[in-house]
C-alpha cells in the first residue's frame, strides 16, 4: 500500500529546473532576484498603506495605484518564493495540483494587472483630455465596477487553461525548464496533441492582453496630442516627464511577457536560459519599479512619504 502511494505521489510530481544552462551560477542569479523582490515588497506595501490611511489620496488615480501595487505583490509573491527555493536549495519538486495553482495565479494576476494599467491609462486620458467630465465619469461606483470587471475577466480567460491541461496525458518526463509553472511549459510535457492549448493561449494573449496594450497605446497617443497643445512650456515638460516614465514601465511590463508567450510557440531556436531569464523579469522588474515611477514621482504621495519621515524624526 505504501509503495502504491509513493508511486502515485511520484507520478503526480513535476520538477522545475530553474534556468537550464546556468545551474553553476544559480546562487549568484538569486542575489539580484531576491533584492528586487525585497524592494517590490517594501515599496508596494508602503504605497498601499499610505494610500489606504491618507484620506486625501482616496481619489481614482490613487485607488487604481493601490490596486496595481496589490497585483504587483501577488504576481511576485506567487513566483519568487518557489524560484528562490530552486536557486538556493535545489528544491525543484512541485505537485501537479500545486503547479496548476501557481500557473492559474501567475496568468490571472498578469491579466488583472494588464487591465488595471488600462484603467489607469483611461484615468489619465480623462484627467488630461476631458477634465470637466472626469469627476462625473470616474465615480466610486464606476471604480468598483471596473475592479470587479477586471477580476471576472482575468479569471474567465485563465480558468480554461486548467481544464485544457487536466485533459492531457503526461506519460513522458516531468521536467519543466523554468523557475515557475506556465501554461505552455506544462502543456509541452504532454504526450498528445496540444494544438488547442497553443491556439487558446495565443488567442488570450492577443485578444485580452494584446487589446489592452493597443488601447493603452491609443490613450497615450491622445494624451500626447493634448499635451503638445498646452500653452505653457513648463506644463508640457512636466506632463512629458510623467508620460515618459509611465511609458517605460508599461514597455517593461508587456515586452518580456509577450516575448515569453510567443517564444513558447514560435521561438524554438532561442536559448532556454534567455527565454526564462526574460520571463522572470516581468514578475520582478515591474513590481519593483512601479512604486518609484507611479509613487515617488507623484507629488501628493511624495509629500506623504516626507511627512512620515519628518514625524519619525
Q: What is the pLDDT of residue 286?
A: 87
d(Cα 171, Cα 191) in Å, to the nearest integer? 6
Up-side HSE of residue 136: CA atoms within 13 Å toward CB? Answer: 4
Q: Which long-range contacts (CB under 8 A, 24 or more apart) does 187-195 make?
A: 188/264, 189/14, 192/168, 194/168
Which helix (H) or strand (E) segment holds residue 14: the answer is strand 13-16
pLDDT at 8 over 60: no
Is residue 95 classed as helix, strand or coil in its secondary structure?
strand
Is residue 16 classed as helix, strand or coil in its secondary structure?
strand
Least confident of 104-108, 145-149, 251-255: 251-255
Q: What is the mean pLDDT of residues 17-28?
A: 89
Q: Write out pLDDT tens, residues 38-64.
A: 999 999 998 998 889 888 888 888 899
Domain ranges for the chain, please list them. Answer: 13-311
d(Cα 232, Cα 125) in Å, to the nearest integer? 19
What is the grid cell recorded at 210? 494584446
For residue 171, name the pLDDT band (cuts at 50, 70, 90). Answer: confident
pTM over 0.85: yes
Q: What is the pLDDT of residue 9?
A: 47
Write down how long the chain is.
313
Residue with cell 518557489: 82
Class of domain 13-311: mainly alpha
d(Cα 68, Cα 65) in Å, to the nearest integer? 5
Phi-psi region of 18 (alpha: psi -120 to 50; beta: other; left: phi over 0): left
Asked whether the beta carbons of 84 and 33 are under 8 A apart, the reply is: yes
Is residue 21 classed as helix, strand or coil in its secondary structure?
coil
Is residue 90 classed as helix, strand or coil in its secondary structure?
coil
Q: What is the mean pLDDT of residues 93-108?
A: 94
Residues 6+ apart with CB under 8 A from 212: 114, 115, 117, 118
Amino acid at each position: 500500500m505504501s509503495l502504491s502511494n509513493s508511486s502515485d505521489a511520484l507520478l503526480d510530481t513535476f520538477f522545475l529546473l530553474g534556468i537550464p544552462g546556468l545551474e553553476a551560477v544559480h546562487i549568484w542569479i538569486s542575489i539580484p532576484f531576491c533584492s528586487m523582490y525585497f524592494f517590490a515588497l517594501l515599496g508596494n506595501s508602503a504605497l498601499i498603506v499610505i494610500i489606504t490611511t491618507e484620506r486625501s489620496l482616496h481619489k481614482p488615480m490613487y485607488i487604481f495605484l493601490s490596486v496595481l501595487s496589490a497585483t504587483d505583490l501577488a504576481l511576485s509573491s506567487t513566483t519568487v518564493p518557489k524560484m528562490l527555493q530552486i536557486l538556493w536549495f535545489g528544491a525543484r519538486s512541485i505537485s501537479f495540483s500545486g503547479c496548476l495553482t501557481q500557473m492559474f495565479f501567475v496568468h490571472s494576476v498578469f491579466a488583472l494587472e494588464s487591465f488595471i494599467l488600462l484603467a489607469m491609462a483611461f484615468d489619465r486620458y480623462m484627467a488630461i483630455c476631458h477634465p470637466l467630465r472626469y469627476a462625473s465619469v470616474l465615480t466610486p461606483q464606476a471604480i468598483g465596477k471596473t475592479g470587479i470587471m477586471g477580476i471576472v475577466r482575468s479569471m474567465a480567460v485563465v480558468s480554461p487553461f486548467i481544464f485544457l491541461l487536466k485533459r492531457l496525458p503526461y506519460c513522458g518526463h516531468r521536467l519543466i525548464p523554468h523557475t515557475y509553472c506556465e501554461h505552455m511549459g506544462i502543456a509541452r510535457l504532454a504526450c498528445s496533441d496540444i494544438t488547442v492549448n497553443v491556439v487558446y493561449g495565443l488567442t488570450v494573449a492577443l485578444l485580452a492582453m494584446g487589446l489592452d496594450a493597443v488601447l493603452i497605446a491609443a490613450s497615450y497617443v491622445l494624451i500626447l496630442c493634448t499635451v503638445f497643445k498646452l500653452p505653457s512650456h513648463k506644463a508640457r515638460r512636466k506632463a512629458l516627464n510623467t508620460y515618459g516614465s509611465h511609458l517605460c514601465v508599461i514597455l517593461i511590463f508587456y515586452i518580456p511577457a509577450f516575448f515569453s508567450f510567443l517564444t513558447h510557440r514560435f521561438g524554438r531556436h532561442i536559448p532556454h536560459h534567455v527565454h526564462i531569464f526574460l520571463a522572470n523579469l516581468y514578475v520582478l522588474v515591474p513590481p519593483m519599479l512601479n512604486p518609484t515611477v507611479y509613487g515617488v514621482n507623484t507629488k501628493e504621495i511624495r509629500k506623504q512619504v516626507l511627512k512620515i519621515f519628518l514625524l519619525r524624526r
